[in-house]
Amino acid sequence: MSFATSRRSTGTEPATYYLKSLLLNWTPLGVFAAAFGLVAITHQFRSSLELPAATSGHAPTTMALLWLAVMLAQPHKEERFLSPIYPAVALLAAQGVAAMAHRARIVALLVVVGIVAIGALRSLALVRYYGAPLQLDWNRHDVVEALEGKTVCLGNDWFLAPGHWVLPNTTRIEFVKHGFEGQLPAHFAPSNATSSMARIVHGTMAHDHALFNDANRMELSRFVDLNECDFILGRDAITVARSKVVEGMCASMLHLEKTTLLARVIFHPAFAPLAQQHVWQQYCLYQHSNSTPEVRDMVE
């Protein structure tokens, strides 16, 4: 998400969080089109608009509204929880545009062009402003060698990390207690199964369910001591005195808290006035002082 919230450390958000999410991912015009489609269906405009009954969208609309109601009732809100209703939102938006076209074709055309244009600028913003974790050269030979068999630790930037798939198979990701107060993911339980799917199933079922909760409360079992970390990944070295940046393993990303909302949600060319409000920070791989001598040779 590209808007800051006061409760982000615990994952609980007000009901307006999902409205912001829809506006951000579907653009204001997309949400307007979906709302127009909802009105058209609710008032059964399809007969006068000559829309076939099969495309009236009653079932997906009902599903979307029920799902949204359930999600709104949950204190813990995340953007991904809305994913199941996105097809219904797309259907509503399409019907809204169709309804507009029957009354004012030029308005419908402008709405579609606006959705495409804003959506493209939003996509560019995600790549340019927030793509730092994937812009690091994880395939660099010396980096791969240095990470093998080591532990990479994440602090309050854990949600930005690209995950195990960019790291060597022998590298382990752990969490250190640093600002975040919610529940963090857990490792799969060890398994002797031969197939990948069997290991996943067994690793999930074999876990102690007492280590999880449905209130997003912090579980201290997720954290390791900072001394167990060979590397730290994030915007913050956590312990500056004992960490150094791995050479060439930094990328710029927008500072969420210090950049205004309009300046960060869509892409702005460098010459645009809002681009002057961008505040940048570095997302880096830091080598912790506990690492071996050959790893220290990589740091600046």
The rounded percent of the chain whose pLDDT value lies above 90 is: 47
Q: How far, in whole angstroms, is CA 197 from its chain's centroid?
A: 25
pLDDT grade for 5, boundaries at 50, 70 and 90: very low
Which DSSP symbol is given to 239? Answer: S
- The DSSP bridge pattern shows strands 280-288 and 151-154 to be unpaired
Mean predicted confidence (pLDDT) in 133-148 = 93
Instruction: Determine which helix (DSSP H) or strand (DSSP E) holds 124, and give its type and residue range.
Output: helix 105-130
- Cross-strand bridge partners of residue 254: 280
The model's pLDDT over 114-123, given as tens digits with 9 standing for 90+, comes to: 999 999 999 9
Q: Which residue has the higher pLDDT, 237 or 124?
A: 124
Please check whether residue 285 is in contact with residue 249, taking contact to mean a CB–CB distance below 8 angstroms: yes
Q: What are phi and psi of 105, to 5 degrees?
A: -60, -40
Is this model's pTM higher than 0.85 or not? Answer: no
Identity at 107, one-letter amino acid code: V
The model's pLDDT over 8-36, given as tens digits with 9 standing for 90+, comes to: 445 678 889 999 999 999 999 999 999 98
Q: Which of 180, 185, 292 is nearest to 236 (CA)?
A: 180
The model's pLDDT over 200-255, given as tens digits with 9 standing for 90+, comes to: 666 566 556 677 777 778 888 899 998 899 999 998 777 666 788 999 999 999 99
Query: How far apart are alpha carbons 283 and 272 in whole angstroms?
Result: 25
Task: Name the residue with tokens 């830091």.
Answer: 286
Tell me the average pLDDT of the chain: 82
Mean predicted confidence (pLDDT) in 176-191 = 81
- In three-state secondary structure terms, 244 is strand
- Indicate left, alpha or beta for 131 from its phi (over 0: left) and psi (-120 to 50: alpha): alpha
Residues in the chain: 300
Least confident range of 58-72, 127-141, 265-279 = 58-72
Query: How far apart are alpha carbons 295 and 150 in whole angstroms?
Result: 10
Q: Which of 184, 210, 188 is nearest to 197 (CA)?
A: 188
pLDDT grade for 274, boundaries at 50, 70 and 90: very high
The model's pLDDT over 146-165, given as tens digits with 9 standing for 90+, comes to: 999 999 999 888 989 988 88
